[in-house]
Amino acid sequence: MIKSIAVGVITALLTFLLWNGIDVWPVILILGLVAALTYTGVWNKVVQARHGRQVTVGSAVRVTFNDIGGQATAKNELKEALEFVRNPERIQDLGIRPLKGILLTGPPGTGKTMLAKAAAEYTDSAFLSASGSEFVEMYAGVGAQRVRQLFVEARQLAKRQGQANAIIFIDEIEVMAGKRGQHHSHLEYDQTLNQLLVEMDGMGASETVRILVMAATNRGDLLDPALLRPGRFDRQVRVDLPDREGRLAILALHTRNKPLASDVDLVRVAQETFGFSGAHLESVCNEAAIMALRDNSPAVLDRHLMDAVDKVLLGERMDRNLRAGELNRVAVHEGGHALVAEVVNPGSVSSVTISPRGMALGFVRQAPEDDRLIQTVSELKADIQVCLAGSTAERIMLGEQSTGAANDFEKAWDISRRLVLSGLSSLGVVHEEALSPESLYQAIQDIITQQQAEVDRIITDRDSHLRQLAQQLLESETLSGDAVRGVLRGSDPLALGEATSA
């Protein structure tokens, strides 16, 4: 309608100018250019760039709390806080100060944005989202102006949609709301944060559109304390990496639209994905489906999911051509890791492979039966032994070590360091600052030397098993945990279950 009126008016104007003998070509040229830019969408981008911020209005796909797997505590805490928005009269009757801000903290990909979207759905609120980095420019005052504009837009959007509430979601809030006075272009940062505080302080229960600010950060420690004082973000919800139950729920959600073969065991996948975030798990399900497509398989098979876990963990399978000697060395190295892992932690090896992925030439996947939130001294020492096992296997079987173990040594060193600094070494309780670098170095060296001796013993006692494992790896490239255990049980039933206590 507006378009037709505009076209009519422009045509009439051009005819009038032409009638009066005025050269209209420059005007036609400019109009043509604007029309082309608008048609291709470039104009919108120019306007957005001038405003500098891309606000996502609403969420293209509606998210409810049921679409979020696990995170039961976060969901409950959030729902409880959102009662403020759902029952404003009751809150007012009791004289309770309205809730202005909720801060979601936790590692990347754990579902913070999803929770904010679900909160908007739960409270029937207009939803606007922006990222902290979009507010900060080189020029002082621009960020503050954008903050003001965001609040205006939120009110307008809610009114347009006939809603009484609006949720403004600011992702990566630490970028715009870090501790004041710490940034080199601090004036701009400080002004932006000040404006956010001013807007939040100005939000009242009596407004026609009630605004709730939700923000997310991976670095809560960087935030300016003023932001966290009561009356601003006075609810903090921790969104952690999912536990095993949570991982299972997320896997179930992301496979509900995918055909799964009968051999798929999501419980096992959940067990093997300790430390994965929701975003990682979504990627596992997606990659598995892509692999099924590549294989022309009508359903996602167990091996697709397992391959996808490896891919998300380590990267794409590489086509590296190793020389025969190198391949043999990798087989011995990985066989060593697998053997020691099974001896010190029976049943823990999930698979071992010599097929290169990402930076790794081969790897052993271990799947603890339960998520480990704390570790005992013997568990830490067992982990060190597994790290040292690859290079030890190379030395014992092939006569010398290689550079392939550099990463393992780094890990062994880190674990030993953690052991010392947690007060679990012979030094007893220590404080890093009071410990000389030499004493720390010596304590770590002592731990590693002790564990090395133990690994030497385990491998020397089972060199025939190691030879078999390496041989089978060369033949089939990948061995399941059961196949590894089969080799170890083969000729020596005592090979498994023997705890080490060095």
Of the listed 334, 342, 394, 454, which one is catalytic?
A: 334
- Among 77, 134, 153, 171, interactor with ligand ATP by CB under 6 A: 171
- Among 101, 111, 132, 336, interactor with ligand ATP by CB under 6 A: 111
Q: Assign 3-class secondary structure to 306-334.
A: HHHHHHHHHCCECCCCCCHHHHHHHHHHH
Judged by CB under 6 A, the chain residues 25 through 64 that form the site for ligand ATP are none
Calculate the dihedral angle through the C-alpha atoms of 373, 376, 377, 380, rounding to the nearest 10 degrees. -40
Q: Can you tell me the distance from the alpha carbon of 93 to that of 233, in angstroms, rounded to the nearest whole number?
A: 22
Closest distance to ligand ATP from the beta carbon of 231 (Å): 25
Locate tokens 């009066």: which residue?
A: 20
Q: Does 71 bind ligand ATP (CB under 6 A)?
A: yes
Q: Can you tell me the distance from the alpha carbon of 211 to that of 155, in angstroms, rounded to the nearest whole number?
A: 8
Q: Does 110 bind ligand ATP (CB under 6 A)?
A: yes
- Among 98, 278, 335, 356, interactor with ligand ATP by CB under 6 A: 278
* Phi, psi values for residue 236, rounded to 5°: -115, 130
Residue ranges of E strands in 43-164: 56-57, 101-105, 125-131
Closest distance to ligand ATP from the beta carbon of 367 (Å): 21
Q: Does 167 bind ligand ATP (CB under 6 A)?
A: no
Please count the residues of this chain forming the interface with ligand ATP, following the rule CB under 6 A: 19
Are 237 and 279 contacting, i.e. CB atoms less than 8 angstroms apart? no
Closest distance to ligand ATP from the beta carbon of 43 (Å): 30
Q: Does 250 bind ligand ATP (CB under 6 A)?
A: yes
Q: Which is nearer to ligand ATP, 184 or 256 (CB)?
A: 256
Provide the H-helix boundaries in 203-298: 225-228, 244-255, 266-271, 278-294
Q: Which is nearer to ligand ATP, 112 or 333 (CB)?
A: 112
Q: Which is nearer to ligand ATP, 251 or 338 (CB)?
A: 251
Window of 37-45, 181-189, 277-285, 362-370 that interacts with ligand ATP by CB under 6 A: 277-285
Helix (H, G, I), strand (E, B) or coil at 430: coil
Q: Which is nearer to ligand ATP, 180 or 238 (CB)?
A: 238
Q: Does 70 bind ligand ATP (CB under 6 A)?
A: yes
Q: Does 338 bind ligand ATP (CB under 6 A)?
A: no
β-pair partners for 249 = none
Q: Which is nearer to ligand ATP, 109 or 347 (CB)?
A: 109
Q: Can you tell me the distance from the alpha carbon of 421 to that of 436, in angstroms, rounded to the nearest whole number?
A: 12
CA–CA distance from 48 to each of 41, 53, 56, 206, 377 (Å)?
Answer: 11, 6, 12, 32, 56
- Among 55, 68, 331, 393, interactor with ligand ATP by CB under 6 A: 68
Q: Is 334 a catalytic residue?
A: yes
Helix (H, G, I), strand (E, B) or coil at 262: coil
Are 231 and 197 contacting, i.e. CB atoms less than 8 angstroms apart? no
β-pair partners for 468 = none
Closest distance to ligand ATP from the beta carbon of 183 (Å): 21
Helix (H, G, I), strand (E, B) or coil at 168: strand
Q: Does 279 bind ligand ATP (CB under 6 A)?
A: yes
Q: Which is nearer to ligand ATP, 203 or 227 (CB)?
A: 227
Q: Does 108 bind ligand ATP (CB under 6 A)?
A: yes
In the chain, % helix, strand, coil (3-state, to 5) comes to 60, 10, 30
Q: Which is nearer to ligand ATP, 106 or 481 (CB)?
A: 106
End-to-end Cα separation, the chain, in angstroms: 83
Window of 87-95, 109-117, 354-362, 482-490 that interacts with ligand ATP by CB under 6 A: 109-117
Q: Does 308 bind ligand ATP (CB under 6 A)?
A: no
Q: Can you tell me the distance from the alpha carbon of 209 to that of 191, in angstroms, rounded to the nearest whole number?
A: 25
Judged by CB under 6 A, the chain residues 214 through 233 that form the site for ligand ATP are 216, 218
Which sequence positions are flagged as catalytic?
A: 334
Binding region for ligand ATP (CB under 6 A): 68-71, 108-114, 171, 216, 218, 250, 253, 278-279, 282
